[in-house]
Amino acid sequence: MSALYTAVATAVGDGRNGEARTSDGQVAVDLAVPKEMGGAGGATNPEQLFALGYAACFHSALKLAAREAKADIADSAITAEVSIHPVDGGGFQLSVALHAEMSGVDQGTADKLVARAHEVCPYSNATRGNIEVEVDAVVG
């Protein structure tokens, strides 16, 4: 399969404490373990970066779903909550909650658009069957 685009990023440092940057220099961030996990905090972490990427990607998928349905959504936003959980036997697992907000459509249409977005979003397709992902829509 031929890729449409490939993002390249490198992380260096002491595990979850260090820095990460993209090959094109557009993103460069310091990394730190969150205080809630016993770290110093004060910098971003992989869960926040995943949440940013998933929210942006799902928002794009929602806009695509709206165009397909000829639905005129307005004031749309996606909030992604990415949680990390310990698993039995060691290691960790992620879970995601995606909250879509929009206006210009009724609740039934919003629910259908979010379901369609979840079908086409690359992040949703990558995580499907691997981690728990909950989605909901609120019309305002």
Give residue 74's pLDDT.
Answer: 86
**Which CATH number covers residue 36?**
2.20.25.10
CA distances from 57 to 9, 37, 60, 67, 88 (A): 17, 27, 5, 16, 31
Band of pLDDT at residue 24, cut at 50, 70 and 90: very high
Asked if residue 69 and residue 38 are part of one domain, the reply reads no
Give the rounded percent of residues in the chain with a pLDDT score beyond 90.
Answer: 96
| Nearest-angstrom CA–CA distance, 75 and 102 | 5
**Which residue among 28, 44, 60 closes a domain?**
44
Band of pLDDT at residue 1, cut at 50, 70 and 90: confident
pLDDT above 80 (res 15): no
Band of pLDDT at residue 69, cut at 50, 70 and 90: very high
Asked if residue 94 and residue 62 are part of one domain, the reply reads yes
Number of folded domains that form the chain: 2
Mean pLDDT, to the nearest integer, of 18-32?
97
Length of the chain counted residue by residue: 140
Asked if residue 135 and residue 99 are part of one domain, the reply reads yes
**Which range is least confidently modeled, 1-5, 15-19, 131-135?**
15-19
| Nearest-angstrom CA–CA distance, 75 and 16 | 35
Annotate 94-123 with b (16+ C-beta within 10 A) or e (fewer): bebebbbbbeebeeebbbbbbebbbeebeb
Asked if residue 55 and residue 8 are part of one domain, the reply reads no
Mean pLDDT, to the nearest integer, of 23-36?
96
What is the domain extent for residue 131? 46-139
Asked if residue 53 and residue 33 are part of one domain, the reply reads no
Band of pLDDT at residue 87, cut at 50, 70 and 90: very high
| Nearest-angstrom CA–CA distance, 107 and 122 | 24
Band of pLDDT at residue 106, cut at 50, 70 and 90: very high
| Beta bridge partners of residue 140, listed in sequence order | none
Is the CB of residue 93 less than 8 Å from the CB of residue 82?
no
**Which CATH number covers residue 50?**
3.30.300.20
Mean pLDDT, to the nearest integer, of 44-62?
98
